[in-house]
Structure 1
């Protein structure tokens, strides 16, 4: 399970199956990816989600969601994270490590002021970028924007030096790669696809069926 500390506005939007009780959260295995924060943004009258990794402040932006999408938000998060990593020039080992560690999301309260500060700043940055570049949020995937936001310094309260979310998250995946079995969550069919793709795949898109963990 991946804990997502959500704002009150986002929690009110999430279906009940994505917001388990405290006992369920504590009993469930926790992903080594660590916890995240998330906020609901209303941009150009569309619902968008912004996730930030607590430790590294790595952002994942998911634009233009409709009501049915919130019930399957795990799929959108997995897709957005993996393709953002690809845009960040993650290595195959880093991608494999992230994929193995993907687990169902559990949205809970209990937000941290420092991470909320990062969320708010990134939200303002997104508004500014979309306005300056005249972008339509309903026509974008969000991967390139997330990658751009990750490749800039971020101040974390209590830390003297700025951190670079992109570098920090990729370094985290490097450390975790030695702690996981990169084949543990892949079925025989998925491994076959990785070894022998049946058709050419664009080099700028992750085909998530090759990575998704059975949930």
Structure 2
């Protein structure tokens, strides 16, 4: 690995690992930069498979909605694309997003390692399900882009900026220092 390369680590719950049909490493993640480490959990909403992905350092998160069997075969690419797409939607500079994505030279899958992140993922899933259910009751399909913007404006007391979206954008500004 070069100086500017990092392994993107996706720490999967057992439920997601089973869907991915991967033999997930039981080892602790080897990624030294938590900005490139993410936890992910599979959940069902309205008979659709969804995955909530959350950054270990900033708690920045997003929902992948309506995944099909083939999507799990190319999960690496879907996650990296979704990170870039969501960061762009949240106002991150495209050059910084490109640098982040280019730094992800490979993807590894491991077991989860932080119970507090799992707890926050479950809280975000509950919030997402409530918002999507409300949209359905209002007669509209959930707008996942809007949902993801909304999730990152959810207050998380342990973050320096309170909001995961703001915290992630600030951390990305440091990529220029690499």
TM-score (ref. length: structure 1)? 0.69
Deviations 1:181-205 (A, max 9, x none): xxxxxxxxxxxxxxxxxxxxxxxxx
Equivalent residue number for residue 195 of structure 1? none
- The gaps in structure 2 that reach 5 residues or longer are 1-6
Q: In the TM superposition, what is the alpha-carbon distance from 1:80 to its structure 2 partner?
A: 1.2
What is the SS of the residue equivalent to 1:40? strand
1:10 corresponds to 2:12: no
Tell me the residue number matched to 2:40.
Answer: 38
* Cα 1:112–1:104 shift into 2, 3 Å: same
Following superposition, the deviation at residue 49 of structure 1 comes to 0.7
Unmatched runs of 5 consecutive residues or more in structure 1? 180-215
CA 1:34–1:99: 2 relative to 1, 3 Å: closer
The equivalent of 2:147 in structure 1 is 145
**Equivalent residue in structure 2 for 1:136, among 122, 137, 141:** 141
The CA deviation at 1:136 is: 3.4
Higher strand residue share: 2
Could you say what the CA RMSD is over the residues aligned between the two structures, in angstroms? 2.4
Cα distance in 1 between the residues matched to 2:100 and 2:148? 16
1:90 aligns with 2:92: yes
Do the aligned partners of 1:32 and 1:176 also contact (CA within 8 Å) in 2?
Answer: no
Return the offset for 1:164.
Answer: 1.3
User: How far apart are 1:87 and its partner, in Å?
Assistant: 1.1
Q: Secondary structure at the match of 2:162?
A: coil
Count of residue pairs the alignment pairs up:
169
TM-score (norm. length: structure 2): 0.82
**SS of residue matched to 1:89:** coil
2:66 paired with 1:61: no
Following TM superposition, by how much is the alpha carbon of 1:10 offset from its aligned partner in structure 2, in angstroms?
1.1
How far off its partner does 1:125 sit? 0.7
Pick the structure with greater CA Rg: 1
Deviations 1:64-92 (A, max 9, x none): 11111111011211221111111111123
